[in-house]
Amino acid sequence: MKGKRKLNLFDKIILWLNCLLCLALLISYLAPVVDPKTFWVVAFFGLAYPPLLLGSLIFIIYWILRKNWYFIVSVLCIAIGYSVLLNNFQLHGPSSYSNGPNQTVINMMTYNVHNFKRYGANNDISTKHEILQVINESQPDVIGIQEFYTRKAGQYDMRDSILRIMGTTWYYFEPAVANTQEAIGIAIFSKFPIVAHGFVPFANKMGENACLYIDIKKGDIQFRVYSVHLQSIRFDNEDYKYLNSIAKQGSKTDGSSARRLGSKLKTAFIKRSDQVKKIKEHAAQCPYPYIISGDFNDTPASYAVNQMAKGIKNAFREGGAGFGRTYNGDFPNYQIDYIMASPQFDVRSYQIIEKKLSDHYPVKSDLVLR
């Protein structure tokens, strides 16, 4: 390759675009450490990390094909953010292991079931049955369910259905919305005895976004499981319609719609920062090993996810593969559901079950408590 190949006008334009993209990529590396409450703009660069990474790879290919050393610029920028890359992309293969002596294996699962209905659709019996089948086939020891919907009786008595599938009587459910016949909230089901439970308050009253925990006893060992549903962006139909028009039809950007979406994202970034701080402070007081799982509503390059993972193990990073996409709704498909565990756990397996039932894929992981 020629190091000083003369650039034509088109190459010069490409080089400037390459430099701008590299600058944006470098700024995105600040998103995991800069609190959105301090400087929220950086959070948007973190959200854009996957397309920025893809753009950098395209520039690398372009300069290699042009036989020019400028490809090194993008390579270096990607290398600088190697830790962020590993949070987003992994190459672990299928794992096989046998349980050793004095090991306690916890098959942990988290699933935002979207009220047991397909995304954008009304409740239908087939979706409910398919979601229950996923849980039945997985047979988790513990499952945290966000957007859990149940009725007191009948075919949508989901509490009773999951208890029967798991062969247990142990569960904890906190409704965010309820009446005499039905309720929606967060639930945790366990095959092992629950000896205590509670929730980490985000506000004065229980809401859609919340954090529950249960203390579990398996034999002589006790551990805690948190199930979280961090701040939702709360896009409405108008927002999704605008996003779809941009993605599918290439429509021109509408200023007022873009500002509305940006404002909702900014608010969610800031609220998740506060919520993670409360959960981490609560977990720091836990006297035994713990697992934090659930719908974080944020990406691997975000402040919320990286602060939550500080000092504990991210099951995706320890045992995942690919980009770990867990959201399959209308918004760009990111990894936003996680399983994390305190250092006393080893991550032996990690799996995303890619069945498009809810707008989230279920995530499960085998955790070994030493």
Residue 3 inside a domain? The answer is no
Integer Cα distance of 238 and 257 in angstroms: 9
Helix ranges, 250-323 (H) = 255-284, 303-309, 315-319
| Whole-angstrom distance, CA of residue 350 vs CA of residue 193 | 24
Residues 108 and 63 in one domain: no
Residue 246 has pLDDT above 80, yes or no: no
Dihedral sign for Cα 164, 168, 173, 179, please.
positive
239 and 297, same domain (yes or no): yes
C-alpha 276: how far from its chain's center? Answer: 13
Q: Compute CA distances 110 → 80, 142, 314, whole Å.
A: 32, 8, 14
Task: Indicate which CATH number applies to the domain containing 184.
Answer: 3.60.10.10
Mark whether 76 and 166 lie in a shared domain: no
Judge if 112 and 148 occupy the same domain: yes
Residue 345 belongs to a domain: yes
Cβ 163 vs Cβ 171: under 8 Å? yes
Domain co-membership, 33 together with 132: no
Model pLDDT for residues 186-242, shown as the tens digit of each residue: 999 999 999 999 999 998 778 889 999 999 999 999 999 999 999 998 766 665 565
In a domain, 295, yes or no: yes
Q: 55 and 167 in one domain? A: no
**Domain check: are 40 and 138 in the same one?**
no
Domain extent at residue 68: 9-88
pLDDT at 124: 74
Q: What is residue 48's DSSP assignment?
A: T
Please identify, among 88, 118, 144, the residue that sits at the C-terminal boundary of a domain.
88
Task: For residue range 68-83, list pLDDT tens digits in order.
Answer: 999 999 999 999 999 9
Rounded Cα–Cα distance for residues 108 and 106 (Å): 6
Percent of the chain at pLDDT above 70?
88
- How far is Cα 156 from Cα 88, in angstroms, rounded to an integer? 37
236 and 315 both lie in a single domain? yes
Residue 94 lies in a domain: no
Q: Report residue 187: phi and psi, to 5°.
A: -135, 150
Q: Phi, psi at residue 179, to the nearest 5°?
A: -140, -165
Residue 218, in any domain of the structure: yes
324 falls within a domain: yes
